[in-house]
Amino acid sequence: MRAPAGTLAASRRRRFDIWDALIRFVLIVASLACLLPLVHVASKSFSSDAFVIANKVYLWPKGFTIEAYKKIFADVSILRSFYISVLVTVLFTLLGMIITICAAYPLSRPQLKGRKALTFLFLFTMYFSGGIIPDYMLMNNLGLLDTIWSLILPLSFSAYNLLIMKSSMSNSIPISLEESARIDGAGHFRILWSIVLPLSKPILATLSLFYAVGRWIAYQDALFYIKQNVDLRPLQLKLYYLVIQASESFQLEAAQVQLSNPEVLKASCVIFATVPILCIYPFIQKYFVQGAMLGAVKE
C-alpha cells in the first residue's frame, strides 16, 4: 500500500527533464511565430523610410518616427472607414443580439407547439444558402446596395449563435423557476426580461463578442455590396484596396513633398487596424474560449 503511494508522490515531484525542456522550447517557438510577425510590422511602421528600404528593420524600429501615422490621421478616407466600421459593428451587434434572443427564448421552451419544425427552419440555413449571386440580387432588389444596411441586415441572423444561446437557455435556467414565476402571474415577456436575461449574462457577453469581432474582421460582403459609394467602405475593405490590391493611394492633405515608401505606410495601416482588436483581446479571450466550447456541445 505504501510503496505505490511513495512512487506517486515521487512522480508528482518529478524532475524537470530534457523532454520538458524540449516541449517548452517547441511551444515557445510556436507562440513566437504568432507574435513576431506583428512585432516586425509594428517596428516597420515606426521606422524611417531609409532603414526600411535598406531592409535593416527587424524586431525594433530604426530611425524612430511617427510620420506614417501622421499621414494616416491626415487621411480623411481612412478615418471615415474606421467610423463606418465602428457604426456598423455596433448596430450589427445590437440587432444580432435582439434577433438571437427573440429566437432562442421561444425555441428553448418545451411547451412551444411546432418547436421542432421551427428549429429546423432556422438551422437549415447553416447547411444551404442561395449563395453569392442570389444574395447580391436580393440586396439589389431591396435597394440596399451601397448602404450600410447591406452590411448589417443579411448576416444579423446567425444559426450558429442561435444554437449556442438556445442550448444555454434550456440547460442553465431551471424550468421550475419559470413555472413559479408564471404562478405569480408573470407572462413570457416578463420572464424573459427579469429572469432569463439576467441569468444569461455570460452567454450574452460571449455572443455579443462573437457578433462584434465577426463583423469587425469580415470584408467579403462589403466587397460585394459597397461599390459606388466609396465613403461607406468599412476599414477592412479600405485596407483591402489600399494594401492588398494597392489600387488606391493615400489622400494626402498637401501636395506630396517627399516620396514616401509605401511599405511603411502599409505597415502602419496594418497596425492602425489591428490595435483596436489587440486592446480588447486580453479581456475577451476568455469569453471566446467558453463560446467555442459551448458551440461544440452541439456541433
Partner 1 sequence: MKVESASSNVETALKRVKADSRGAAYYLRRDWQLYLLLLIPLSFVLVFKYAPMSGLVIAFKDYKIARGFWGSEWVGFEVFNQVFAKPDFGRAVRNTLLLNSLDLVFSFTMPIVLALLLNEVRSVRFKRVNQTLLYLPHFLSWVIIGAIAYQLLAEGNGVVNNLIEMMGGKRVPFLQEDAYWLVSYVAIGVWQSMGWGTILYLAAMSGINPEMYEAAIVDGAGRWRKIWNVTLPSIRVTIVTLLILNLGKVMAGSFERVLALQNKATTEYSTTIEVLVYRWGLEGGNFSRATAIGLFQAVVGLVLVLAADRVAKRLGDDGVI
Residues 68-97 that bind partner 1 (CB under 8 A): none
Among 5, 105, 68, CA closest to 268: 68
Question: Smallest distance from the beta carbon of 249 to partner 1, in angstroms?
Answer: 16
Q: Does 30 bind partner 1 (CB under 8 A)?
A: yes
What type of residue sits at position 261?
N
The angle formed by the CA atoms of residues 137, 143 and 147, to the nearest 5 degrees, is 105
Q: Residue 7 or residue 258: which is nearer to partner 1 going by CB?
A: 7
Q: Rule CB under 8 A: say whether 175 interacts with partner 1.
A: no
Q: Are 146 and 229 in contact (CB under 8 A)?
A: yes
Among 87, 157, 195, 230, indicate the residue that binds partner 1 (CB under 8 A).
Answer: 157
Residue from the set 135, 181, 199, 204 that interacts with partner 1 by CB under 8 A: 135
Write the DSSP symbol of residue 195. I
For residue 153, the one-letter residue type is: L
Of positions 68, 72, 88, 107, contacts partner 1 by CB under 8 A: 107
Is residue 204 within 8 Å of residue 98, measured between CB atoms? no
Q: Does 185 bind partner 1 (CB under 8 A)?
A: no
Contact flag: residue 40 with partner 1 (CB under 8 A): yes
- Maximum Cα–Cα distance across the chain: 86
149 lines the binding site for partner 1 (CB under 8 A): no
The residue type at 144: L
Question: Of the two residues 25 and 83, which places its CB atom closer to partner 1 in the complex?
Answer: 25
Q: How far is the CB of 66 from partner 1 (least distance, A)?
A: 18
Stretch touching partner 1 by CB under 8 A, among 74-82, 115-123, 167-175, 197-205: 115-123
**Interaction of residue 138 with partner 1, rule CB under 8 A:** yes
Q: At what angle do helices 159-172 and 201-217 cross, to 10 degrees?
A: 170
Sign, CA dihedral 79-84-85-91, equals positive
- Sort residue 28 into left (φ over 0), alpha (ψ -120 to 50) or beta: alpha
At position 20, the amino acid (one-letter code) is D
Task: Check residue 111 for interaction with partner 1 (CB under 8 A).
Answer: yes
Q: What is the dihedral of CA 259, 261, 267, 268, to 10 degrees?
A: -20
Q: Applying CB under 8 A, does 102 fall inside the site for partner 1?
A: yes
Which amino acid would we find at residue 223?
A: L
Query: Closest separation between CB of residue 254 and partner 1, Å?
Result: 26
Question: Considering the complex, what minimum distance in angstroms separates the CB of residue 274 from partner 1?
Answer: 6
How many Cβ atoms are within 10 Å of 185's Cβ, its own excluded?
A: 7
Interface pattern 210-249 for partner 1 (x via CB under 8 A): ---x--xxxxx--xx-----------xx-xx--xx-----
Residue number, 199 or 243, with CB nearest to partner 1: 243
251 touching partner 1, by CB under 8 A: no
Report which DSSP code applies to 261.
Answer: P
Q: In this structure, what C-alpha cell is assigned to residue 120? A: 429546423
Binding segment (CB under 8 A) for partner 1, from list 166-174, 175-183, 247-255, 281-289:
281-289
